[in-house]
Amino acid sequence: SHAAIKIQPMRQFFSSGHTNNWAVLVCTSRFWFNYRHVANTLSVYRSVKRLGIPDSHIVLMLADDMACNHRNPKPATVFSHKNMELNVYGDDVEVDYRGYEVTVENFLRVLTGRLPPSTPRSKRLLSDDRSNILIYLTGHGGNGFLKFQDSEEISNVELADAFEQMWQKRRYNELLFIIDTCQGASMYERFYSPNLMALASSQVGEDSLSHQPDLAIGVHLMDRYTFYLLEFLEDIHPSSKANMNDLFKVCPKSQCVSTPGHRTDLFLRDPGSALITDFFGSVRKVEITMETINLTEPIHFVNEERQKETYSYVDQLPVSEIIHQKPKQKDWHPPDGFILGLWTLILLVFFKTYGMKHLKHIF
Amino acid sequence: MRWEETVVEEATADKEDTSAPETVVQSSVPQPKDDFQEELVIRPLHSGDIYASFQFRTLWETDFMRGNKVSHYRLFPKSLGQVISKFSVRELHISFTQGYWRTMQWGQPFLPSPPGAELWVWFQDSVTDVDGTWKELTNVLSGIFCASLNFIDSTNTVQPSASFKPLGIGNVTDHRFLRYATLPREIVCTENLTPWKKLLPCGSKAGLAVLLKSEKLFHSSFHSQAVHIRPVCQDWQCKTTSWELRQTLNVVFDLHTPGQGKLEWSLFKMFSRTLTEACPLASSSKIYIDITDDPQGEQFEVSPATHLLSQAMVLGDRRTFSVYDLTQQITFGTVRSLNLLIRWKSSEDMLRPLLHAERYVAGYGLQTGEIHTLMYNNHPYRSFPVLLLDSVPWYLRLYIHTLTVTSKGKDNKPSYIHYQPSKDRVRPHLLEMLVQLPPNSVTEVTVQFERALLKWTEYTPDPNHGFYVGSSVISSLVPSIVAMDTNSTREQPLFSSFFPCKEESSYFMRVYTEPLLVNLPTPDFSMPYNVICLTCTVVAVGYGSLYNLLTRSFQIEEPSPGLAKRIANIIRKMRGVPPL
C-alpha cells in the first residue's frame, strides 16, 4: 500500500515571478596583496552554491590565482578569517574566467550575451526573462569607476548601459547588484533600467576597509563588508524567509567604518517582499507527473562486416624516414603586395628606359 | 615485456577473470564493450621524495566516426565523446602541470609533461579546415577543463613536421593534421582537478580517486594531470580497434614539507585518506610499489605485507613491484581500510638518467640574448638520435644564421633541420632538428635572438613579470638496458604500456626542458599620468607667474600705520586737523 500523495496547487510555486537563478561573481584585482578580493568573491560563490545555485548557472571570474599561488603557505586554500576554519575555495570549485581573461570587454560580453559562437556554455550567461541574477563585483574602485587588473576601468555609465541592454533583450527578471569597493555607491548612481536593486559597501568619498590581516599568510584576508555579509549568509538556509531589509542592515557603520548604501527606487516590488533566497538561492521548476513513460527500444547495432585490414602502431621516431623527408609542397598563395609592387617597379623602370614603342614587340 | 606474478602463499583467492564486465542488457543485442581499469604506482625516489602516479583507463569498442551517432554512454564520459565525434579527432593529448620535473634528482617519469598546459591533437583525414576546427576545439576544451585554453591561437600553435607522431594506431601520418600548442603560463589548481575528476566513472567517490584531495595534491613539488585519447588495438591481431581514454595524474611529494623528517611515507600522510574499496565499475584496481632497489626487504619496509609480486619492463629497465589488488576483499584486512606504509633507510646514488636536457637564456640587457639548450647523453658507449622541437614566440626574433650545434667542442651537423620562420603577430618560430648525440657527451645548441617592442595594448596587465617561452621537446629512442617487449597488447600494467614499442633494443622517451622567462623592453605605463601631472604643474607655475608679471601694473601704497597712530588719526579727523 502506498501513501496517498497530496497534489499541491501549482500556483503557489511561482509567486515571485522568476523560474531560474544565475550569478555572475567577479574579482577584478590581480597580485598577491589583493588576496582579499579573491576571498570576497569566493565567499559569495560558496554561499550561492550552498543555497542551491548549480555551477552551470554561476559565472565565476577571478583575475588572479591565490590558492595555488607560490606565495600561499597553504596551497589550494583561500581563507576568510585568520582562524583558518573556513576554506572558501573548497574542493569542487569551477572558475569560468581566470587570469587574463577577466577584462572589461569579457565582462560586458557575458552580461549582454554577445559572445563569439565558439564560447562554451559554462562561460555564458544564458538567462532569460524569468531569471533572477545576482551580480557581485569587488576590487579597487573610485568615484564612478572600477579598476580591472590594474590596466583598465569600467565606468558606471558603461555598467548602466549594459544593464539597459540586458533589460531590452529581456535577459533578466530582477537583478541584484552588490559591489564591495572604495566609493562603491558611485557605481549604481547611473542605473536607469527597471527591476534593479543595488548594494554597495561604501558611499562616495569613503573607503571600504579590509577586515584583518593574517600574519602567517601575510596579507589581509577579507574586506569588512563581505566578511559580515558572509556571516549573515551563513545563517541563511534554502527555506529561510529573511528578506532584503535584513540584507540592508548588514555591516552597520560601527562594524564597517564605511557606510553601506543601497538603492531600491528602480525595484518594482517592495524590498521587504523580496526574499534573500530569491537571489542567492535557486528555484528549480519541478513538475510532478503520475503517468508512466515508455522508453524507446535500445539501438540495434548492426554488425557490419569490417574490413579485414590490419592496423598497426606508428613508429615514434623513424630516423631514416625523417632524414629523407621531402620538403612539403607548400600551398600556392597568390603573390602578396610586396612582390607585386616590386614587379610593377621593375616593369615601370623598364618601359621608362626603353620607351613604350617596344611594347608592341612584346605583345 | 614480460609480466610475472609470483604467488607465494596459497591464501590469495581464485584469480578472477579480468575481462570486461558484460553489461546487462534486456534485449539480445550485444552492446559495445567497455572496460575500466585503475592503478596507482608508488615509487620512492632517491632524494627522499615519493612519486605517485595514478592511471585510469577506459576502453570502449565503438566507432565515433561512423554514421550512426553514439548516444548511450556508460563508462566513457559523454563530454569527451561528443568532442571526438564533432571535431573528428583522431588523437587528443592534453596535460596540465604545475612544477618542473627534475630528471637529475628523480629519474624519468612514466609520462612526461611540460610546465603549464600542453595540447596536441591529430585530426582525421576528413577534416577540411584544420585551423578552424582547432580553434573551436580549444574553446570547447577550455570550458570542459576550466582553463584558459582559448588563448591558444595561431601565435602559439605550431605544426611539427617530424615530432609527435601518433601514439595510437594509424596508417597515415600526414603532419598537416597535427597541431601542437603550449601555454607555459597556465596555472593549475583545484578548478582544473574538479572537472577532471568528474570524467571518471566512479567520480571521486570510490576506488583510487578518493585519494585525490586537492589540498594535498597541490602541496607538492610536482603535479601533473593529463587526458589522453587514442585508438588502440584490441587484440594482438589488431583487426579491430577501440578507443582508449587514459586519465593520468603524477605527483611528487616533497620530503621537506613540514612534518616530515625521516624517510617514511604512508597513504594517509600523502593523501590524508585511506582506501576502503575499489571502484565497483573497474575490472582491475591495483596498487604497485616499486621495490626494485631492495627486493630482500633490508632497506625497504612495506606494510601491510603482500605476497603478490610482479615484474615489468618500464623505461628500459626491469623493475619489481609489490602488488595490492583492491578488488580482493582480503587486501583491506580486518579494519576494512588500506593504509600502506613505506619505510626506507638509506639512499644510495642512483643511476644517472640516460638523457636529460637543460635550457637557459644568456646575455644581458633588454635588446639581445641567446638561447642555450644542453642535451646530455649519459650512456657510456652508445649514441642515439634525438629530435629537438623548439617553438619560440614571434617577439623573440631568432637569428637562425647564428644557430650552432656543438658536441664535445666540435661541430655536430644535424641530419635533418626544419625551420619555419615566424611572422609578426601571426605565427611563432618552429625549429626541428634531428641530432645524433655522441656517447657520454653534452650537446649544446645556441641561437641568438633580439627582443621586439610590442604595441602598448599587447602587454599583459603584469608585463614586468616577463614573458614565457614554452619548453623544448626532445624525443628520442634511447637504448634500453633489458630487452623490451614489442607485443603491446598482452596484459600489462598501464604505466608500462603507454608508449608503443616497436623494437626490443630501445624505447621511446620524451624529455621537456624548462620554460624560459624572458623580459621584454617594457614601457613605463605610469608615464602618461606622470607627464600630465608634471606638465600641468609647470604650466600653472611657470605660465601663471609670467602672465602676472607681464600684465599687472604696480601702484605705490602707504603701509598702514600702527594702532596708536590710527587712534590719533581718528581723533585728529574728528578735530578737523590733517592726519599724521
Written as one string, the DSSP assignment of B44-83 is: E-TTS-EEEEEEEEEEE---TTSSSPP---SSS-HHHHHH
C-alpha cell at A145: 569607476
Give A54→chain B minimum CA distance, Å. Answer: 14
First vs last Cα of chain A: how many Å apart? Answer: 102
CA atoms within 13 A on the CB side of B451: 22
- C-alpha A117 chain-centroid distance: 17
Q: Which SS3 state, helix, strand or coil, does residue B323 take? A: strand
**Contact between A173 and A132 (Cβ < 8 Å):** yes
pLDDT at B198: 94
Of the candidates B312, B333, B379, B317, which has an alpha carbon nearest to the alpha carbon of residue B352?
B379
Element (H, E) at B252: strand B241-253
**Contact between B303 and B96 (Cβ < 8 Å):** no
Whole-number Å distance between alpha carbons of A86 and A47: 12
**Contact between B291 and B322 (Cβ < 8 Å):** yes
Nearest to A323 among B169, B213, B434 (CB): B434
Reported confidence tier of residue B119, pLDDT bands at 50, 70, 90: very high
Element (H, E) at A90: none
CA atoms within 13 A on the CB side of A175: 27
| Chain A touched by B218 (CB under 8 Å) | yes
Residue of B nearest to A324 (CA): B416
Instruction: Indicate if the pLDDT at residue B4 is higher than 60.
Output: no
Q: Which residues have C-beta within 8 Å of that of residue B65, sequence separation ≥ 6?
A: B85, B88, B124, B126
Of the candidates B326, B329, B456, B474, which has an alpha carbon nearest to the alpha carbon of residue B389?
B474
Phi/psi of residue A279, nearest 5 degrees: -110, -35
Rounded mean pLDDT of B18-39?
59
A251 tagged catalytic: no
Element (H, E) at B4: strand B4-7
pLDDT at B15: 38
Residue in the block written with cell 642515439: B384
Q: Which residues pair with B183 in a beta bridge?
A: B117
Rounded mean pLDDT of B515-542?
91
Q: Which residue has the higher pLDDT, B148 or B486?
A: B148
Instruction: Indicate if the pLDDT at residue B9 is higher than 50.
Output: no
Q: Kindly report the CA angle at B202 between B275 and B199, in degrees rounded to 5? A: 125
Rounded mean pLDDT of B421-442?
94
Identity at A319, one-letter amino acid code: V
pLDDT tens by residue, B85-110: 999 999 999 999 999 999 988 888 99
Torsion of CA B291, B292, B294, B299, to 10 degrees: -50
| Chain B touched by A163 (CB under 8 Å) | no
Q: Which residues have C-beta within 8 Å of that of residue A226, sequence separation ≥ 6?
A: A39, A40, A43, A44, A138, A180, A201
Mark which residues 90-109 of B lie under 8 Å from A by CB.
Answer: 98
Mean pLDDT of chain B: 86
Reported confidence tier of residue A253, pLDDT bands at 50, 70, 90: confident
Q: Which residues pair with B399 in a beta bridge?
A: B448
Element (H, E) at A261: strand A261-263
**Contact between B219 and B250 (Cβ < 8 Å):** no
pLDDT at A84: 84
Q: Which residues pair with B296 in a beta bridge?
A: none
- A 10 A CB-CB count for B258 gives 8
**Contact between B177 and B449 (Cβ < 8 Å):** no
Instruction: Indicate if the pLDDT at residue A194 is higher than 80.
Output: yes
Of the candidates B38, B35, B182, B54, which has an alpha carbon nearest to the alpha carbon of residue B515?
B182
Instruction: Indicate if the pLDDT at residue B8 is higher than 50.
Output: no
Q: A354-363, B235-244, B410-419: which range is least confident on average?
A: A354-363
Q: A335-339, B15-19, B567-571: which range is least confident on average?
A: B15-19
Helix axes B78-87, B130-145, angle to 10 degrees: 170
Phi/psi of residue A2, nearest 5 degrees: -115, 150
Q: Which residue has the higher pLDDT, A359 or B440?
A: B440
| Chain A touched by B314 (CB under 8 Å) | no
pLDDT at B27: 45
Query: Which range, A51-60, A245-254, B318-327, B547-556, is most confident?
Result: A51-60
| % of chain B surpassing 90 pLDDT | 54
Q: B257-261, B426-430, B483-487: which range is least confident on average?
A: B257-261
Identity at A117, one-letter amino acid code: P
Whole-number Å distance between alpha carbons of B274 and B336: 10
| Chain A touched by B214 (CB under 8 Å) | yes
Size of interface A-B (CB pairs under 8 A): 167
pLDDT at A266: 92
Whole-number Å distance between alpha carbons of A61 and A98: 6
Instruction: Indicate if the pLDDT at residue B154 is higher than 70.
Output: yes
A182 tagged catalytic: yes
C-alpha cell at A172: 533578466
pLDDT at A28: 95
Mark which residues 130-149 of B lie under 8 Å from A by CB.
Answer: 135-136, 139-140, 142-144, 146-148
**Contact between B476 and A317 (Cβ < 8 Å):** yes
CA atoms within 13 A on the CB side of B237: 4
Count, in order, helices (H) and strands (E) of chain A: 10, 10
C-alpha distances (whole Å) from B257 to each of A73, B188, B221, B269, B273 are 11, 20, 9, 11, 17
pLDDT tens by residue, B537-546: 999 999 989 9
Reported confidence tier of residue B3, pLDDT bands at 50, 70, 90: very low
Residue in the block written with cell 558572509: A230
Rounded mean pLDDT of A68-89?
90
Mark which residues 106-135 of A lie under 8 Å from B by CB.
Answer: 116, 118-123
pLDDT tens by residue, A311-354: 788 888 888 888 887 666 566 667 778 888 899 999 999 888 88
pLDDT at A157: 96
Identify the DSSP state of A248. Answer: H
Name every chain A residue with its beta carbon within 8 A of the beta carbon of B173.
314
Do the bridges between strand B368-377 and strand B416-420 make them parallel or antiparallel, or are there none, so unpaired? unpaired
Q: Which residue has the higher pLDDT, A288 or B260?
A: A288
Name every chain B residue with its beta carbon within 8 A of the beta carbon of A299.
68, 71-72
Mean pLDDT of chain A: 87
Among A182, A220, A251, A256, the one annotated catalytic: A182
Instruction: Indicate if the pLDDT at residue A183 is higher than 50.
Output: yes
Whole-number Å distance between alpha carbons of B315 and B482: 10
Nearest to A30 among B170, B188, B462 (CB): B462
- A 10 A CB-CB count for B18 gives 13
Whether B499 sits inside 8 A of A328 (CB atoms) is: no
Give A110→chain B minimum CA distance, Å. Answer: 14
Whole-number Å distance between alpha carbons of A137 and A156: 12
